[in-house]
Amino acid sequence: MTSRLSRPASQSQAAIRRFATFIALAAIAASRATAQTVAQPETKPGAQRTRRIVVSIPDRKLALLEDDRVVKIYDVAVGAPVSPSPTGEYQIAQRLENPSYYHPGVVLGAGANNPLGPRWIGLNVKGFGIHGTNRPNSIGKNASHGCIRLRNRDIQDLFARVQVGDRVSLVAERTGEVAGLFGPAPDSTQAAQTIVAKNESATTPDSDTRGER
């Protein structure tokens, strides 16, 4: 009688072991599938954003774009008619904190009297850049020797947001993009405002220096 009962019990135990093995294999397969899903995120972490500066010379405004979205718009001064700002596509080539001002016979360190203000963002065209100013009343006008001037608080803000290599578009006409960024064209009275700051020379500084422009 003992031998007759032992065979079914042995078969039952084998079936249980096979079932347990199946469950274990299924659990391993499920965990691998989950791991593969987690290992393939939808976006790459730390993806670099694309920044671009657009300056509208007729509007005397600067827009900072990030991934084609407007981050901030600043009022600026642009070149006077006798010394217009350059136009075209450029890149940021240099970033300087508390720059010194160089002009033939004049060297000024950082401070309230420095015509470049507290920050210099140099472009890949000699002698031109985006900077602060010691003449805040020139902002919003055609007043510089070609450079783009911002209020000192604004240049510090912009400086912290951009990097060497970022694109800079200096636009002389109101294109569709410019109208979309800055809205309606300025009125004729505002557009006619032009000043040349007192004691500024209309001559072009040496190409190897950062004269006020």
Q: Closest by alpha carbon to 191, among 141, 151, 144, 143?
A: 141
Nearest-angstrom CA–CA distance, 158 and 66: 12
Query: Is 147 designated active site?
Result: yes
Please, how many CA atoms are within 13 Å of residue 197, restricted to the half-sphere of its CB? 19
77, 141 contact by CB (below 8 A): yes
Cα-Cα-Cα-Cα dihedral of 84, 86, 91, 97, to 10°? -20
CB proximity list for 84: less than 8 A, separation 6 or greater: 57, 78, 146
Q: Closest by alpha carbon to 116, among 163, 148, 83, 164?
A: 148
Nearest-angstrom CA–CA distance, 70 and 89: 18
**From 147, 148, 162, 170, the catalytic residue:** 147
Cα-Cα-Cα-Cα dihedral of 156, 162, 165, 170, to 10°? -70
Q: 99 — phi, psi (to 5°)?
A: -70, 155
- Amino acid symbol at 104: P
**From 51, 60, 61, 131, the catalytic residue:** 131
Residues belonging to the active site:
131, 147
